[in-house]
């Protein structure tokens, strides 16, 4: 059974950047619903032993179109939010270090340039979706965005996401209303680059 990542902080711990009601609704309603729907679909498919990356990379194996769509949306919703909630912290390291910093500088020039690129992708995503920083199998970094709950696995890309910014309205609308850009700016105030670095280090290993 797929389980939501346990939050390492309380719902109000990311205030004032992410408000408590948004956090609680996001985690206990939205993420819980994706997880429940994924588990129901996985049971129907007999996929209990597969990892979610593997399932999302092989959506074409699911013959039933409605079930395939359910797995794409809810498998993505499950995975994406586990990542999102894991990389935020009330005491974040705001400065990437080590190998991750080297890779950022090699690809983007500087951390600020990368943040600008991610901000453009996040604010430029029409409708619901995500902005991603991903690593390829050689550790090269790639930034992209996706609609809905799609992610590099379900998009058929040989990339692993190491940072994701949720730009569905449910992630910010209670506090920021239509000002997605303000939410994205403040997301970087709670983004823990140490968590991103941990994901970068094990970039291509599989996980549930
Ligand atoms: Mn969300």
The count of residues in the chain is 208
Q: How confident is the model at residue 208 (pLDDT cuts 50, 70, 90)?
A: very low
Residue recorded with tokens 């390291």: 93
According to the model, what pLDDT value does residue 202 have?
85
Distance of alpha carbon 171 from alpha carbon 203, whole angstroms: 25
Distance of alpha carbon 201 from alpha carbon 136, whole angstroms: 12
Average pLDDT over residues 139-151: 97
Residue 7 Cα to ligand 1 midpoint, Å, equals 15
Residue 204 Cα to ligand 1 midpoint, Å, equals 24
Residue 76 Cα to ligand 1 midpoint, Å, equals 10
169-204 per-position pLDDT tens digit: 999 999 999 999 999 999 999 999 999 999 999 875
Angle at 140 between CA 160 and CA 73, to 5 degrees: 20
Query: Which is it for strands 160-166 and 141-147: parallel, antiparallel or unpaired?
Result: unpaired
Peptide bond into 16 cis (omega under 30): yes
Average pLDDT over residues 62-78: 98
28-58 per-position pLDDT tens digit: 999 999 999 999 999 999 999 999 999 999 9
Report if pTM > 0.85.
Answer: yes
73-95 per-position pLDDT tens digit: 999 999 999 999 999 999 999 99
According to the model, what pLDDT value does residue 204 have?
56
Residue 81 Cα to ligand 1 midpoint, Å, equals 6
Residue 177 Cα to ligand 1 midpoint, Å, equals 15
The domains of the chain, with CATH numbers, are 19-203 (3.55.40.20)
Q: How confident is the model at residue 151 (pLDDT cuts 50, 70, 90)?
A: very high
Give the residue, 204 or 143, on which the prediction is more confident: 143
Contacts of 23 (CB under 8 A, 6+ apart): 11, 12, 14
């Amino acid at each position: 059974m797929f389980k939501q990542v346990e939050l390492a902080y309380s719902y109000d711990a990311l205030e004032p950047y992410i408000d408590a009601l948004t956090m609680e609704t996001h985690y206990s309603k939205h993420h819980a619903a994706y997880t429940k729907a994924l588990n129901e679909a996985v049971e129907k498919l007999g996929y209990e032993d597969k990892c979610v990356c593997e399932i999302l990379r092989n959506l074409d194996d699911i013959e039933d179109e409605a079930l395939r769509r359910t797995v794409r949306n809810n498998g993505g919703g499950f995975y994406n939010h586990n990542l999102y909630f894991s990389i935020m912290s009330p005491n974040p390291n705001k400065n990437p270090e080590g190998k991750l910093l080297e890779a950022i500088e090699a690809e983007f020039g500087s951390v600020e340039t990368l943040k600008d690129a991610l901000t453009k992708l996040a604010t430029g995503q029409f409708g619901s979706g995500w902005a991603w920083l991903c690593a390829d199998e050689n550790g090269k970094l790639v930034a992209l965005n996706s609609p809905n709950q799609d992610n590099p696995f379900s998009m058929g890309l040989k990339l692993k996401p190491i940072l994701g910014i949720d730009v569905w309205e449910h992630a910010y609308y209670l506090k920021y209303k239509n000002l997605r850009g303000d939410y994205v700016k403040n997301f970087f105030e709670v983004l823990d680059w140490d968590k991103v670095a941990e994901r970068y280090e094990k970039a291509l290993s599989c996980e549930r």
